[in-house]
Structure 1
Amino acid sequence: MRPHLDEVADDMMQEIQTRVREYDRPGDGSYSSTLRQAVERVLHYFVDRVGDPDHEPGPVTDFFRAIGRGEAGEGRSLDAMQTAMRVGGMIAWRRIAAGAAHLEVEARVLGAVGEALIAFQDELATAAAEGFAQAKAAVAGEMQRRRKRLLDLLFADPPAAPEAIADLAAAAQWPVPRTVAAVALGQPHDGAHRPAFPPDILADPTRRTPSLIVPDPDGPGRARLIDRALGGSLAVVGPTVPLGEAARSIQWARKTLHLVRRGVIAADGGVVRSVEHMSTLILFQDEDLITSLAALRLEPLSHLRVSQQDRLAETLLAWLQSGRNANEVAMRLHVHPQTVRYRLRQLEELFGDQLLEPDVRFDLEIVLRARALLAGQPGEHLIPAVKPAVGDTADVVDLHQRN
């Protein structure tokens, strides 16, 4: 074979450039020279392999690994290279078959050469695919690092400069939106169970509180997309804000998630949206303040038993929420109106003229709402336990309830 390698290389070059458009660059001499070098290198190593089956094709496979990396770096697929390899193999086999017939080579020998040709092509294709995958993984890893840095920049407080955000967004190939919503996920995900998000969503599931940024969350169909992407996991979506205020959105999402974990806000197995719980978030924005206000406004209940406190607090909240209508309170609490009127008389005796003051009623509704939200949550002491009863009389409310 060796005396004919230059002729075979000429045939291969002509056929490859005719059949594979990507390799036909008549005005690019350096590219043609590189292609010629690749063809000659493959031919020589193949002949070496035929002459010595134990010959190691390390350098040429490394060469094709580099070709694979180069194709990935240029943003191309391996289709053109694989087509060129098939065309080159076809030309090689055609010349081998013709030479074998001229030399009257035994079929067994010709078969062994054909098998070696197929195996060699497979090795080169595998090497190119490995290089391609390595380069793609490196690019994807770098892109993911850039997107994580962009997420850090958007969550920075105080906000980063718009120019810095725009530059990093361009490097991360993330189109800059007008508005965003941040998302706090309830639990980290390992690599095997990490959910897949659409490419326009910035995600960092490795944070202590895994976080996302969703662009244009109020656009058509975006709410359904968010629910579908986050389905099956505890997720809190912060309010929609301008891009420069993403830190505010993630802060509210994290606060909401904290209250969900405490049982103050119900998750009900779906996506939670902070904007649907703003009054609760305001209530729990400063728990020291709400605790102090509760101690002040609920002091008239402090001498009662806990069961009495609960019944009267529940009745007072319902009364405040229903426009001070006893019949509506009875319907809300599923008790007899007479029972409600009895409790209201007790409340009037305990609170006196305070219930006539609009500001006091407002304060009472605030602390009673907070108290109700924490009802049944073990270990919660936002509304402090009032002093135990001392020498109090039996509560007759149960008698009215039975009636």
Structure 2
Amino acid sequence: MPAGVARLLRPRVGDVADRVIAEIQRRVPEYARPEDGVYIKVLRLAVNQALHGFLERIENPRAAWDPEVFRTIGRGEAAEGRGLEPFQTAMRLGARVAWRRLTEQSEQLGLDPRTLYDLGEAIFVYLDQLADAAAAGFAEARAHAAGEMVRRRRRLLDLLLTRPAASPEAVADLARAAGWRPPRMVAGVALEERDGGSPLPVLPPDVLTGLDRNVPCLVVPDPGGPGRVQALENALRGWRAAIGPAVPLAAVANSLGWAREALDLGTRGILPRRRLLRCADHMATLVVFKDEDLVAALAEVRLAPLAHLRQNQQDRLAETLLAWLRHGRGVAEVAAALHVHPQTVRYRLRQIEQLYGEALADPDVRFELEIVLRARQARRKPPDA
């Protein structure tokens, strides 16, 4: 710019600012707040900062410049829940008004066409600089808000998994701050990375994630919703997982605990090693293996009549006895289940009757026998049988 251009334009900044503000309020609905005195004051401050900043830039183009005001505006747009489109529209309107006023007064100001052309180009460069500053502030605010929301959700997950359960009021307050709507039913999901370097799963926004915890986990709202579990299974490619039973929100720590037990039983081969193991399909096994020492002690008592037999004899009689208990003690049903001849079943049942005697008539004994025989079978069968 020729020397003195900025000094020539500076006395007219107030008039241009009034025109720019009026045009912005008329044309940009987001900024039309005539009844809000504080907002008008902020708008005027921003417009004056833009105009004076432009004059300073053309007067001292090599001077250090920090457009913090416009980064702040970008942060404010994010805080207001808007995108940058209204701000960009306002900037273009402001530039148009200023340029129009400049051309109208060019003769009076003694500005030659070349200087006008250079001023126009400088306006476009300056608009880009302001837009970049606002975009930087906007992105910073969005990232901060997203990070804060992640932190709140982590605190909410911690609160939900505490034992004893936190008060409903505390959960409701933190859920509100985290933008999470408490559901009626939830399920805990225990996770184990199956393949090294597996990508993080892309999960629905209402799922609370704890992938960075010592034992990774999720809390899934409304797990019984249509297609919910299937969508979860698709999202967890590269991970092994177990989903606990659906429970009220206050009991989600229990659901997650059962899911972790199921995942452990899957690792041991007692439950199937599927990508997503559903506890609801294996509740009896979870109950049986809840206290393995107690089940082992019961087995010592109830399987004592078989202890003196060879291992293959024990296996055949235990298998037959369990099938007999499970299938209503009918020979034909037992034979069909074991894929053997009914006469073979009768022979084995006679052996069992000789070993157990009248004890098999006691329903409590039969119940305890089924528990220990189911546990024995689960430890010995192939995991996907």
Is the shorter-chain TM-score for this pair beyond 0.5, marking a shared fold?
Answer: yes
Calculate percent identity across the aligned residue pairs. Answer: 52
2:44 is aligned with what amino acid? R
Q: Which amino acid aligns with 1:155?
A: L
Alpha-carbon deviations, 1:119-178, whole Å to 9, x = none?
Answer: 221221121122122122222222222222222222222122222222222222323333
**Which amino acid counterpart does residue 315 of structure 2 have in structure 1?**
D
Change (3 A) 1:318 1:189: closer
* Residue equivalent to 1:227: 230
Residue 326 of structure 2 corresponds to 321
Rounded to whole Å, the distance in 2 between the matches of 1:363 and 1:30 is 77
- Equivalent residue number for residue 278 of structure 1: 283
1:27 match: 35
Relative distance call for 1:369 and 1:99 in structure 2 (3 A) is: same
Structure 2 partner of 1:346: 351
CA distance in 1, matches of 2:343, 2:214: 54
- Pick the aligned partner of 1:6 from 1, 6, 14: 14
- The equivalent residue for 1:88 is 94
Instruction: In structure 2, give the amino acid aligned to 1:328.
Output: E
1:146 aligned to 2:121?
no
Cα distance, 1:3 vs. partner?
Answer: 4.2
Q: 1:173/1:49 Cα in 2 relative to 1: closer, same or farther (>3 Å)? A: same
- The aligned residue for residue 105 of structure 1 is 112
Aligned equivalents of 1:98, 1:229: Cα separation in 2: 64
CA distance in 1 between counterparts of 2:350 and 2:131 reads 89
The letter for the 2-side match of 1:105 is: D
Q: Is 1:18 aligned to residue 26 of structure 2?
A: yes
Cα pair 1:188 1:205 within 8 Å, conserved: no
1:38 to 23, 46, 49: 46
Q: Cα distance, 1:377 vs. partner?
A: 6.8
SS across alignment from 1:182: strand
Q: Distance in 2 between matches of 1:191 and 1:69?
A: 35
- For the structure 1 residues 17 and 316, does the alpha-carbon distance in structure 2 shift closer, same or farther, using more than 3 Å as the test? same
Match 2:265 to one of 256, 259, 263: 259
**CA separation of 1:348 and 1:197: change in aligned 2, threshold 3 A:** same
Q: Of residues 189, 194, 198 in structure 1, which corresponds to 2:204?
A: 198
Alignment of 1:30-179 (within 5 A): 30-58=38-66, 61-98=67-104, 103=110, 105=112, 107=114, 110-179=116-185
Larger CA deviation: 2-11 vs 40-49: 2-11
Q: Can you list the C-alpha shifts for 1:286-339, whole angstroms capped at 9, x where unaligned?
A: 100111111222223323333332222222211222222233222212223333
Aligned AA for 1:180?
A: V
Task: With the length of structure 1 as denominator, give the TM-score of the two structures.
Answer: 0.81
In the alignment, which residue of structure 2 is the partner of 1:361?
Answer: 366
Query: Please, which of 276, 285, 292 is the counterpart of residue 287 of structure 1?
Result: 292
Query: After superposition, what is the alpha-carbon deviation per residue over 1:175-231, rounded to whole angstroms, capped at 9, x for unaligned?
Result: 33333333323339999932233333333222223233333444xxx1413421342
Secondary structure in 2 aligned to 1:231? Answer: helix
Query: Which moved further from structure 2: 222-231 or 38-47?
Result: 222-231
Instruction: Read off the aligned partner of 1:289 and give its amino acid letter.
Output: L
Alignment of 1:378-389 (within 5 A): none
* Contact 2:201–2:235 (CA under 8 A) maintained in structure 1: no
Deviation (angstroms), 1:19: 1.0
- The 3-state SS of whatever aligns with 2:205 is coil
Unaligned 5+ segments in structure 2 are 1-8
Contact 1:189 1:205 in 2 (8 A): no
The structure-2 alpha-carbon separation of the partners of 1:129 and 1:214, relative to structure 1 and needing over 3 Å to count, comes to same
Q: Deviations over 1:63-85 (max 9, x none)?
A: 11111112222333323212111
In the superposition, relative to structure 1, how do residues 123 and 348 fare at CA in structure 2: closer, same or farther (>3 Å)? same
**Deviations, residues 17-49 of structure 1 (Å, cap 9, x unaligned):** 221123233333333232222222212222232
**Residues of 2 paired with 1:17 and 1:328: CA distance?**
84
Secondary structure of 1:236's match? strand
CA distance in 1, matches of 2:127, 2:361: 92
Secondary structure, counterpart of 2:187 in structure 1 = strand
Match of 2:6 in 1: none
Q: Within 2, Cα distance between the matches of 1:17 and 1:190?
A: 56
CA RMSD of aligned residues (A): 2.9
> Take 2:342 and 2:243, find their aligned partners in 1: how far apart are those partners?
42
Give the conservation status (yes or no) of the 8 Å contact 1:188–1:208.
no
- Return 5+ residue gaps in structure 1 as ranges: 379-403
| Residues 25 and 32, structure 1, Cα contact 8 Å, conserved in 2 | yes
Say if 1:79 and 1:178 are closer, same or farther in 2 by CA, change over 3 A. same
* Segments ≥4 residues shifted beyond 6 Å: 188-192
Q: Which residue does the alignment assign to 1:370?
A: 375
Distance 2:107 2:349 in 1: 112
CA gap of 1:362–1:124, structure 2 versus 1, over 3 A, is: same
Q: What amino acid is the match of 1:317?
A: L
